[in-house]
Amino acid sequence: MVEVTGRSAVGGHGESVAAGQTARSAGNVSGNSAGSSGGAGRSEPLLSVRDLRVHFAGGGGFWGRRTVIRAVDGVSFEIRAGETLGLVGESGCGKSTTARAIVGLVRPTSGEVRLNGTRIDGLSDAAMRPHRATVQMIFQDPFASLNPRLTVGATITEPMAIFGLHSPRDRQFEALRLMRLVGLDPRFLNRYPHEFSGGQRQRVGIARALAVQPKLIVCDEPISALDVSIQAQVINLLMDLQQKLGLAYLFIAHDLAVVRHIARRVGVMYLGRIVELADSADLFAHPRHPYSQALLSAAPLPDPARERVRQRIVLEGEVPSPDRVYAGCPFADRCRRVESDCRDKPPQLEGARHQVACFHAD
Amino acid sequence: MTQPVLEVRDLRVVFDTDDGTVRAVDGLSFALERGETLGIVGESGSGKSVTSLAVMGLIPRPAGRIVSGAIQYGGEDLLAASPRRLREIRGRRIAMIFQDPMTALNPFLSVGEQLAEMTRLHLKHSARQARDHAVAMLEQVGIPGAARRVDDYPHQFSGGMRQRVMIAMALSCDPEILIADEPTTALDVTIQAQILELLKQLRRDRGMSIILITHDLGVVANACQRVLVMYGGRIVEQAAAGPLFEQPRHPYTEGLLRSIPRWDGESTQLLRAIDGQPPNMAHPPSGCAFHPRCPYQLPRCKVETPGLTPRDAAGGGFKACFVDVASGAVAAASGAVASGAVASGAAASGAAAATAAAKQ
């Protein structure tokens, strides 16, 4: 599969559209950057994302007509220090592209990304560099995301050297400390990635991310390539590190149970937008958006007795192509609650702690 | 007691690799009952996919070899069947769907041509009949506009629709047995729900027997009546789905169930993970393959390989463990092997007894 480079449109569709110009035009909304996350404290959020849009130029249509893939289309959320926000949704919903836009791997088309109050979207590579240490990323595929020619030690010390952290001698000690921290035997310092199992490689990836003392780690499907019995080890490690180091996570996964377990707040994405954003416990117990309800009802539980009696909300068809422009709600065509007003204007996320973008939510 | 539609006895499959000879499947016995969905659960390297390839006669040679065993289907041993006879059975009587429909479909042929190939070969359809049948099959698996889409190529279908095409191909000759190897792993959860519903419908309406191979315990709970749990090329537990999930009797099954989070309950702080790594089957652990990771480990687990014994006195299913997980006590009579009288597939228990007896 093509999952290695992320399932976003980045691989196939080339440059992000008009990154520079539109990014600036959104600058005037900076005044209200704190606020809509339900009034959870007055302190500056660690990460604040406002009306983020990432559009890609699609392939030439018939007669050479260019299409625009709206991978992310107006996403806003905040993450506070030490907190975990989960993003769930199906392939093509824009969750991975959102992650990549935050760490600067793709340029946002518009909207803003603030780290401790400072805008980091659309920065040049050089200007972005100091922020890179604050936000790190771990990837889905621990086989593709590690350099096969670097030993574990070199893999972990490389980012320290890039950021000028520690003396060369101390970097070795730091690498050993980090290996212990993530549960790797320090004797493996001089081994190569191919000598490790998937779970161990993911630990190497985590140690490398930690090497520059980040505040936020963006985790894009960090366990979905691992065996079931290994997934829990990595989830436990991430939660343990959060406690010890006060890390914040943006945790992206398609496995709802994993996100429910690790995230305090969860956003459900559909066609490039967040349709529901709430505290994890609340969202999974009482989903209010018709799409969230369908998504949860489709996710099987490891419990045959429950499975026999569960009612499923069957969605017709599949997620439509993200190159369509919607006047109203993009979910309207598949929604069992659709009414005429749904097609007139797009619903916005509304509410205090439990936010829903639906005119007819429960 | 009805005859099982398929019976695997003491199957052993090895692969030659750079790392040595891997015992991929190591003495596997089970029976598939008519009209049931049997789940085979295990992690990568547990032997679950190799089992399905062996049934289909698709073990890649010369790297892979079936060392011993029998696969009984309708009074004949598939392992002894000629390649010609196997070709008659494969696709016609026993069909298979794979995890990744993009690599399993031929990108140069329209889906209609690929469907027609099946029925022209096996059912001797004319070109006309085959095309009509292809359209009917696509309709049956819920592809909208089947008459129009029959001429489309695989890349013109979405992932979920491609998997439906695969299922349509597998079903086109109305097989008795369907083997589905991770059929929904590459799919999104809402599409997964549609495909699982389709499989259930086939079982209900056609009385099809299904082997569903997966690592996803949620999928098993949703779709299977009976479950085999595999570890290191062997069955470690076998039972009806309800008892297996409610009261696992093998430490590995118990560990798996405890290690997965659920989205419907309270989130606990830490998951109870299984320590360690899955075994390297080129150099498997001595004794029970799970012993290095097992919290109940006894000295004898390092030297003896436990055979399958009844899970409990009530007689539902089998487990391969010296320890009584439910009480924490060591099973008294681990040498006493299942008598043939145990429920849930007498044939399977007979086969299990044979396997275990051969070991003593």
Question: pLDDT digit string (tens) for A306-330?
Answer: 999 998 888 877 778 788 888 999 9
CB < 8 Å to B256, chain A:
228-229
- pTM for the whole structure: 0.84
Asked if A300 and B216 come within 8 Å (Cβ–Cβ), the reply is yes
Rounded CA separation A199/A241 (Å): 16
Q: How confident is the model at residue A266 (pLDDT cuts 50, 70, 90)?
A: very high
3-state SS, residue A348: coil
The per-residue pLDDT for B324 is 86
Does the pLDDT at position A271 exceed 70?
yes
| pLDDT of A40 higher than 90 | no
Q: What DSSP character marks residue A111? A: E
Query: Taking 80 as the threshold, does the pLDDT of residue B355 lie above it?
Result: no
Tell me which of B170 and B270 has the higher pLDDT.
Answer: B170
- Closest residue on chain B to A238 (Cα): B270
Model confidence at B188, pLDDT cuts 50, 70, 90, reads confident
Of the candidates A125, A109, A101, A112, the residue with the CA atom closest to the CA atom of residue A18? A109
Please name the residue ranges forming H helices in chain A. 10-13, 19-25, 95-103, 125-132, 152-162, 168-181, 198-210, 228-245, 256-262, 280-285, 290-298, 304-309
> What's residue B96's pLDDT?
93
Average pLDDT over residues B21-42: 95
Cβ of B190 within 8 Å of Cβ of A315? The answer is: yes
Peptide bond into B295 cis (omega under 30): no
Residue B114 has what pLDDT? 94
Which of helix, strand or coil describes residue A191? Answer: coil
Establish, for the pair of chains A and B, how many residue pairs have beta carbons separated by less than 8 Å. Answer: 139
Q: How far apart are the first and last CA of chain A?
A: 38
| pLDDT of residue B104 exceeding 90 | no
Mean pLDDT of A274-280: 97
- Given a cut of 50, whether residue B68 has pLDDT beyond it is yes
Taking an 8 Å cut-off on Cβ atoms, the answer to whether A301 and B219 are in contact is: no
CA distances from A313 to A269, A285, A316, B188, B311 (A): 18, 16, 10, 15, 37
Closest-CA residue of A relative to B222 is: A307
Minimal Cβ distance to A298: which of B192, B259, B271: B192
Q: Residue B307 pLDDT > 70, yes or no?
A: yes
Query: Which chain B residues touch A260 with a CB distance below 8 Å?
Result: 261-263, 267
CB contact under 8 A, B274 and A306: no
Evaluate if residue A128 carries a pLDDT over 80: yes
Average pLDDT for A248-269:
95
Q: What pLDDT score was predicted for residue A17?
A: 45
Enumerate the residues of chain A whose CB falls inside 8 A of the CB of residue B257.
302
Tokens of residue B354, six digits: 């044979």
pLDDT grade, residue A58 (50/70/90)? Answer: confident
Mutation site for A-interface testing, chosen from B184, B222, B224, B230 by largest number of A Cβ within 10 Å? B222
| ipTM of model | 0.82
- Give B70 to chain A, closest Cα distance, Å: 30
pLDDT grade for B108, boundaries at 50, 70 and 90 = very high
Min Cα separation B69/chain A (Å): 29
* Of the candidate ranges B39-43, B183-187, B209-213, the one whose mean pLDDT is the lowest: B183-187
A55 sits in the region (left: phi over 0; alpha: psi -120 to 50; else beta) called beta
What pLDDT score was predicted for residue A130?
87
Tell me which chain B residues have a C-beta less than 8 angstroms from the C-beta of A90.
Answer: 188-191
